[in-house]
Amino acid sequence: MRLWVSACLLVLACSDPFVPPGAQFEITEDREPCAVRSAFRNVYFGDLHAHTGLSFDAWAYGTNSTQEDAYLFGRGVGPIRLAPLDEQDRGTRSVTLKRKLDFAALSDHQEYLGELHLCLTPGSPVYDEPTCEGYRQGDMTNVVKFGSQLALEDPFRLPGICDTGKADCLLTAREVWAGVVASAEGAYDRTAACTFTTFPAYEYTNSVNVTNLHRNVIFRNTNVPELPPTVFEQNDPWDMLRELDETCIQAGTGCDVLSIPHNSNWSNGMLFRLDYGGIEDPDTQREMARLRARMEPLVEIFQHKGDSECDHTLEGLGGEPDPLCDLEKLRLRPFEQCFGEPGMGGMSSLGCVSRLDFVRNVLKAGLGEEVRLGHNPYRLGIIGSTDTHNATPGFVDEREFEGHVGTTDDTPVKRLGPGNMTHHGVEYNPGGLAAVWAVENSRDAIFEALRRRETYGTSGTRITVRFFGGWEIPADLCEDGGRVETGYRLGVPMGGELPGERPAGKVPTFAVWAESDAAGDTTPGAPLQRIQVIKGWVDADGTTREAVFEVAGDPQAGEGLDLSSCAPVDGGSDHLCGVWTDPTFDPSRPAFYYARVLEVPTCRWSVYQCNGLMPDERPESCDDPAFYRSIQERAWTSPIWYSAP
């Protein structure tokens, strides 16, 4: 069923002369309309990257919670029991989510879905095979053994399970995948209350040369392929995107899908490499750029494995160093920088670091491709998520962090330690969240918001942010009580493109405002320090540039954080708003603009936990200045683009 929601249902009165673009959305499923809806969009917070016991690595870490358990946790109605497990295979730690999510997707690794089920099901044809027995031992050697297959240039399934002739791994994987879709459906609130939205999803786990080429694949509804591609079927990401396009979007079944890259900070320049699979024909490259832009409109900028916005220590950035890039970095200096050719080993914090490991530079590279090809493959909206492997989507509170990787970080001492061969202890963080501006909390409305990039990511906070750009945005918009309507009427929201018809002599103007995360007595958010606009552009000689502009707030607000008490600092604001006009605008050069909203400094999770230990229990990291002590929680909006004529 494909219908369109009438705009009259979404505005206060059908006689209202203005209906924002995108207020109508396509309905692809049978459900009650949401009682709460707005043509001017509501903000919803979610997590599109979380793992349960269905993932081969999570189970080996002691996570045996189901997808049903994880969805209950995300709804705030059920606890999760975390590893280590007791003799009855029950978790010995219990956590709950104090602030429910509005939406979630569980992105369990699609690789090994069949093998894992067969190895863990007593009586299966291969249950007693040595490979399965070794895996059930649960030590890191066997996790690495499974994961190492994904790092091969031509990955193949682990010997000793599927090749025995005793079981059909693909048939089993189809059955497990059907269960994944059913779990998402069972947790989805189809009533008019619209309390919780879920999406069938999985993670495509391409780790060639130990670099991160992973994607979270999100389906709009339950019209999904019988078995979507894994790295074993399509070990080239371009081929993965083509198969998803052909078997889902172009199949005529009502299927729709998005692929979301994540952790470019672990990719040694590979995730966003501009090589088009070695194809040099510009026409073919142009078609590939269109495919990528259509299939991958978003990027995950922050999660528990670090920040991927920017790194101000790299050479050739085309602007002044941005010290606020120094947030939750996994690769600490000294490291080798990639120039030209990408490296390898990034998932183990090895190899060179590339400018294309960071989203800001990827956005700039996209502008360069727009000039060269006439199409931008990297017109990327922004989200955050957790990548929890504890089945705890949305568990991001710095004060309550219990780890995200089962027995790898199940105690404060382990969390504060150096980690192991696959995870890095104190360098990790609780993760981020995805925020969308959508008409209502339903699959169709949220999916279309993701598709049009009216999204932003946070480092875990729930700051509310609006960002509009246009040629006629008034300088006094912050004093306008109807500024949301004015923003839509005179401009475009985050994720949009400035209208091509530029009025003579006009320069783009942007309005951005934010409200602090004020959740109440249990988890109060910190005040806001400032709002910035980050611009990227391409000079006439093809050089990419960037600049950071202060728009609202006070950069000194919140100074003087006491790390021994972590008491709230003085200063900051509950609300900030600014209108900014680009003083460097060149109408002949393409550009992008995004907003960054920062809270005042607060204690990092590691400081809370170090402070809770006796002096003789404190690991070295508690006193090592190389590790972060404070954090400025923040939000990054999706960009607004300008395309030169």
**DSSP code per residue over 481-536:** TTHHHHHHHHSEETT-B--SSPPTT---EEEEEEE--B--SSSBPPPEEEEEEEEE
pLDDT at 519: 63
Identify which has the larger pLDDT, 549 or 146: 549
Residue 630 falls within a domain, yes or no?
no
Query: Is the model's pLDDT at 15 over the cut of 60?
Result: no
Residue 86 falls within a domain, yes or no?
yes
Please compute the mean of the pLDDT values over residues 300-315 and round it to a whole number.
97
Q: Grade residue 315 by pLDDT with cuts at 50, 70 and 90.
A: very high
pLDDT at 99: 94
pLDDT at 12: 43
Half-sphere exposure of 139 (CA within 13 A, CB side): 5
Please compute the mean of the pLDDT values over residues 280-292 and round it to a whole number.
97
Residue 451 falls within a domain, yes or no?
no
pLDDT at 323: 97
Beta strands in 304-409 (DSSP E): 306-307, 381-384
Share of residues in the chain with pLDDT > 90 (%): 87
* 23-62 per-position pLDDT tens digit: 889 999 999 899 999 999 999 999 999 999 999 999 999 9
Residue type for position 289: A
415 and 518 co-located in one domain: no
Residue 473 falls within a domain, yes or no?
yes
| b (16+ CB within 10 A) / e for 41-67 | bbbbbbbbbbbbbbbbbbbbbbbbbeb
* 416-466 per-position pLDDT tens digit: 999 887 789 999 999 999 999 999 999 999 999 999 999 999 999 999 999
Query: Is the model's pLDDT at 349 over the cut of 50?
Result: yes
385 and 492 co-located in one domain: no
Residue 10 falls within a domain, yes or no?
no
Mean pLDDT of the chain: 94
Residue 457 falls within a domain, yes or no?
no
477 and 373 co-located in one domain: no
pLDDT at 631: 96
**How many degrees, rounded to 5, is the angle at CA 380 between CA 377 and CA 382?**
165
pLDDT at 372: 96
Among 445, 477, 500, give the residue marking a domain's end. 445
pLDDT at 140: 66
542 and 413 co-located in one domain: no
Q: How does strand 640-642 pair with strand 602-603? A: unpaired
Beta partners for residue 383, in sequence order? 300
Beta strands in 161-207 (DSSP E): 197-199, 201-204
133 and 204 co-located in one domain: yes
Residue 415 falls within a domain, yes or no?
yes
321 and 383 co-located in one domain: yes
Q: What does the DSSP 8-state code read for residue 546? A: E
Query: Is the model's pLDDT at 522 over the cut of 80?
Result: no
Q: Identify the helix (H) or strand (E) that includes residue 3.
A: strand 3-4
430 and 578 co-located in one domain: no
347 and 420 co-located in one domain: yes
CB within 8 Å of 562: residues ≥ 6 apart: none
Q: Grade residue 6 by pLDDT with cuts at 50, 70 and 90.
A: low
414 and 469 co-located in one domain: no
Say if residue 297 is preceded by a cis peptide, omega within 30 of 0: no
Query: Is the model's pLDDT at 14 over the cut of 60?
Result: no
146 and 179 co-located in one domain: yes
Residue 606 falls within a domain, yes or no?
no
* 188-211 per-position pLDDT tens digit: 999 999 999 999 999 999 999 999
Considering only CA atoms, which of 115, 73, 110 is closest in space to residue 95? 73
582 and 437 co-located in one domain: no
194 and 309 co-located in one domain: yes
Q: What does the DSSP 8-state code read for residue 344? A: S
Query: Is the model's pLDDT at 350 over the cut of 50?
Result: yes
Residue 85 token pair: 């497990």
Query: Is the model's pLDDT at 159 over the cut of 50?
Result: yes
pLDDT at 21: 79
Residue 8 token pair: 């009259």
Query: Is the model's pLDDT at 172 over the cut of 80?
Result: yes
The whole-model pTM stands at: 0.97
Query: Is the model's pLDDT at 1 over the cut of 50?
Result: no
Domain count, the chain: 2
Domain that holds residue 170: 45-445
**How many degrees, rounded to 5, is the angle at CA 436 between CA 433 and CA 437?**
150
